[in-house]
Structure 1
Amino acid sequence: MASQQARFGAFQDFTGHQGDKETLRLYDRAMAATSCGITISDAIQPHNPIIYCNPAFERITGYSAAEVLGRNCRFLQGPDTDPAAVEQIRQALRTGEGCVVVLKNYRKDGTPFWNELTISPVCDDEGRITQFIGVQTDITERKQAQERERESEARLRLTLNAAKMGVWEWDLRSEEVSGSPEVESLFGIASGSRAKSYEDYLKCVHPDDCYRVALEMARVVKEGGNLNSEYRIITPENTVRWVVSMGSVWRDERGEGVRLMGTVMDITERKLAEEASRQQFLRERLVGAIAKRIRASLNLEEVLNTTVEEVRTLLGTDRVLIYRLEPDGDGVVAVESVGEDWMPILGTNIKDPCFAKNCVSPYQQGRVRAIEDIYTAGIQQCHVDLLAKFQVKANLVVPILQGEHLWGLLIAHHCSESRKWQESEVMLLKQLSVQLAIAIGQSTLFQQLSTELVERKAAEAALRQSEAQLKEQATQLKQTLHELKQTQAQLIQSEKMSSLGQLVAGVAHEINNPVSFIYGNLAPASQYAKDLLNLLKLYQKYLPKPPEEIQEEADAIELDFLIEDLPKLLASMKMGADRIRDLVLSLRNFSRHDQAQKKPVDIHEGIDNTILILQHRLKEECSRPPIQIIKEYGDLPEVDCYAGQLNQVFMNLISNAIDALEEYNSKRSPEEINRDRSKITISTSLKNEQGSIKNEFDFINPSLVNIAPSSVIIRISDNGPGIPEAIQQRIFDPFFTTKPVGQGTGLGLSISYQVVVERHGGQLKCVSTPGKGTEFIVEIPLQKVEQESVLGAYCCLTSVSATPQRVAS
């Protein structure tokens, strides 16, 4: 009550009136009842001290009236109060004008609050400013809500920016189309510009897509449903972008469409990636089609014409030709595919001394040249003049080689403008040049054979009287045809398997060179060391007391130990070099056998080479016990098979067995490992139509001895944990694996199954009992299997690169 009376007295004092007390009390009660804080400051006194505050001001600030009266309002300000707002208040107080500001103030307990402050001056009858009335409104909740809204909008904006997405709206009544800043940026609309009309929006759509987009939007407006449309737009910079628009119609209470709202997202990168994938597929399909045509046809002209026509269509270039090089360095355009707008040059003889002098040798070395612009590429002027004569602006040149001989060039001409050739386009022409080289070699062999056939027919007419000679010639002709087919198959498959051969043989070659150098110098090094040691002994014999300095040096280098250890060191180096040579030999054998045609091979040699390559995984290490290999080989004949693919099957199965044992050992104690040591058993035997010639007790079954064997059996077993029955049913499925992500692809056993079953006509079985180990049984027929499939050929190419798989128990 005393505080209220004090405020009333202050209110009465500053009013300067002694009028009706009830009226003054009513005014005081009204200001006390308001939720806004009210202060009155004295404008006449320095620093404008507060002479009145209502209870709401006390509640808002936490200060009592006694703590407030006589002070300036600056005590509510803090370090982060907006200086601009403070300056605005000072300016209002200096000029005696009212103002409204929003600033951050602090309560008595130090907590901040947002204050919407309204300052109004009060004048006396003479017009002098006597007081300032300040009205404070706590708008903290409103500011916090605004801040949350701004944060939400910022997060939405970041999300839209990250997704390259914007929001748009089409007012169906006013025909105006508006969008978020992301839409404006995507469509190239000036930021903040007024909404565009629907017709303006359609002008941004690519002409080829405009009609379809308009129909789809009209359908959604009329029939309902959701809009989901992909189309192209043209920006003001005349660039083409791909977008996808999604949206739906908002309708009024009568069901009439009011506006179509949705999102638009830039999908240009995805479309470019899809187009790149499509182009890659087309290039691969073209290479495959050319290769297939080469295998099916001996007509070189047909193959060459098809190649240039397909390449020009795929690359979208103006001219593709094959330039046939003559021995004197000149040449002729032998094959050409050219667009209607450009000059044909088929059959043109080209005499270019610059080319013969400067370019033949680099192309013989396999150089590929991609010229984006003939006038800026830095080529010789004579070559520029020649290309300009044929309307060429950019070209791509790939050599066609026959061994080390430059047969000709595969050339793509771009005549309309300069062009940046893509790496994929260069790779396409390089692949096709290999295929064309195969076709040319095949055609040459065919021509040689045709010539030989003509000669043999003439000889046949001359020697018709000798029946024996005619039969011999027929036999030789048959053999020649057979060799031609084999040569043709080898040429076709050589390009397919070149990467595999280069990988393994290249490693063996690179290791073999330094090892051969070391190995070749070990013998003379040993002899030199022996001679030097003998000479040293003679010195010691005839000069038993050398000078003191020599004696000290001999002690320092431990001469006696050096004399004893040097021969051992050289012998150890020779053992290491022998070991490396054995590994290199295994690698070379492994790569040499991996050919795309069948041949009789020693199965045991392939298994031994595989074991030798995997030897490092069988040895004992600090964190891994050794794995014992037990070989139980039977007496096998040479088997007609694809040796390299079969070697890869052995590699997969043995690697999987090692993986299973290593994982099994990681879960066992040292005592269990010592009690039951890890073993992999590899056995081979023969089988005929009635059963195995060699039974499980390793003795000969007399009733089967005289029956010719029909297949070879290879068993690879381990004493690991075994495979659960549920998993056994899926182990040969492609991409199925129980290994952690990154440690397997699930292709090893699938490819092994395809190699054995589809490629060789054999069988691959898995017999496993959990807790007792796993056995894989490979059966390869001894008779030649002629059937091949496309899937089998694919296995041939991918089996080496696939990671060997083993199902983890």
Structure 2
Amino acid sequence: MPDSKIRMMIVSSDLTVTRNLQAWLSSHPLEAARYEIDPVANPQANVQISSQTSSQTSSQTSLQKATSTQYDLIVIEFSAADSDSMSLCRQLRAQNCHTPILLLLEPENRHPGIVALDAGAHDYVVKPFDAETLMMRVEFLLHRVSPAVMPVTPNVTPNVTSEVTPEAKLQRQLALAQLTTQILDAIRQTLDLDQILQTAVEQVRHFLQTDRVIVFRFEPNWQGIVDAESVAPGWIQTLGMHIRDSCFGELYETSYRQGRVSTIPDVETATVDPCYIELLNTFQVQANLVVPILQGEKLWGLLIAHHCCAPRQWKPESTQLLQQVATQMGIALRQAEMYQQIRQQAALINIASDAIFVRNLSDSRIVFWSKGAEKLYGWKADEAIGETASQLFQQDFAEIADPLEITLKQGVWQGELKQTTKAGDQILVSSRWTLITDDLGGPQSLLTVNTDITDKKQLEAQFYQAQRLESLGQLAGGIAHDLGNVLTPILGIAQLLKLTHKNADSVTQEQLEILEKSAKRGATMVKQILTFAQGSEENKTAVDVSDLLQEVVDIVRQGFPSSIEIRQTSSAANSVTSSAASSATSSAASSAAGGAQKRASNPPPKLVNVDSTHLHQMFMNLCINARDAMPDGGVLTLSIETCFIDERLASKHLGALVGDYVVVTVADTGIGIPPEIRDRIFDPFFTTKAPDKGTGLGLATVSGIVKKIGGFVTVDSEVGRGTQIKVYLPALASRRHP
């Protein structure tokens, strides 16, 4: 082993893992000879262990330490309650940290392998475990993955005659494993077959210290072409050459398809067909090594090493390397073929409005991203490909663990998922997952088809609310009739008693006054209920909403407390743009204004065909609600503008039509509406006020009036910041479209 120190970083919630590892090493003399655990007390130690506890350092500190220090292995203790460890693991992968990562997982993790894969770790150990088990995994990662432990030594000509020391042999074996891992990583990171082949031949030639390595692809009649080449200076370049070996098909095709490996240490003394020797001499070859590249059971091509400067005895490790690389090339070919079929169908896929993408199961990275996905999520294909779906959509692994498990078991899954777009908007999608398998039937990737159902769900909610309001209205109307019959004689008798008992004492007079007021208030409530349930006789005329709103502003300025500032604004061009109409933060308000198109000249008139009394009542109800939401004072803003509602936006609101609308906004800086009750504020009799402060019919009446004239209402509210209600009224001069 070399004298350089092997360094491990351990990130855990306590020092138990570090202490156990130290104790185990101390009790194993053979291992202790290789692993010194206290670099401060023993500067000649072969291992330094740096432990970062969660209580002492943040994930960011650990990340900085891990990326600024050359570690050979990082051990991270992960638990469901500790999100920092998972975040650290993912950030290391995002910063292209090549240091191997070992996860220590809690036993309650139902899918430890999937958790480790999702985090980007190389391996994992599930608790409880002993130090010996941990060290076995550490040894595996240090010797099989870490590029820092045994680097390939460049520009060293192999000595084929001298005795190889055990240390040198081990170094070559580790370098072989490292090279195989690097090529495997390259295959996972790209579907560009040319790039994969070129990287492979360059790294193989570097490792073998030979003169030429090529990838030879067969064509019909056993002709072929050199698809990739790495060649030392001074030797013939063969890249792109078409080569025909007249004796190959008859003599070698079957044996190579069955896995034949050909080693020729010296062309001059080899007992092979003369036509083959002639071909090798053409390319200055004195020794060669050939292994087949199989695509399933099909012989796709050959991976060939040429030694041109002298004969060479090929060592078993050289043959092993070429066989492993050829196997990985076969995997890459199958992947490329599969995704090529997907790309050939991309034109048809991109016509679909659904978001379609494919991700590898090995590392969860996206490898295909349709135009529909670009439109739905906002990321272009070059931005999404190579990223993991969980990072892109800001999803916790717990949200997709069950769908993934079902897909792996049953091959398909369908359900609804909440996701986040590039713009930060929350959307709801109907998601269908299909498992894609390899040639052997093993799980390879996931095909996902997502349909945006956010608007559909909102429209369904509006429909159900309309049905609920209609049912409540019918019930309330029936009850109101009976209440009216009960209250009429009560009110009449109360008024009669006041007239016939004018000389009664003050207590009696006060009681009669209370009786009359209560009966009148009940009668008023009954009238409101009947108006909500059945409507009242309307006197619809062309009403200038600007003038009527001004009357309301004058009233509230006089009647509201001085602690509430009244502001009145109006669009300078009597228009509203998409951004102005969607200044609210909620998705509903954003959607409501998203189809409003700017009209900078010739604005539509602010006339609405409506009963002015009803419109006045509606605006007053909204202002009173805003006032009550600001008990400690605040700002009440009323504004009016016009906009055009396009077909896309109209389809999102029940009963809305395409055309020009007058938009009245009533905004306050009050307490806001909690999300859990926001969908109920238009329900009749629903109120958060005290029983003697409100009937719960104010907003229900607003909704009923607006609905009758073909308009709609949007609400945007944030607790602690206020509420904004936009009322869209169809303009009288608008040309309406169904």
Q: Same fold (TM over 0.5)?
A: no
| Structure in which a larger fraction of residues adopt helix | 1
Task: Look at both structures and tell me which one has the larger radius of gyration over its CA atoms.
Answer: 1
Q: TM-score, normalised by structure 2?
A: 0.27
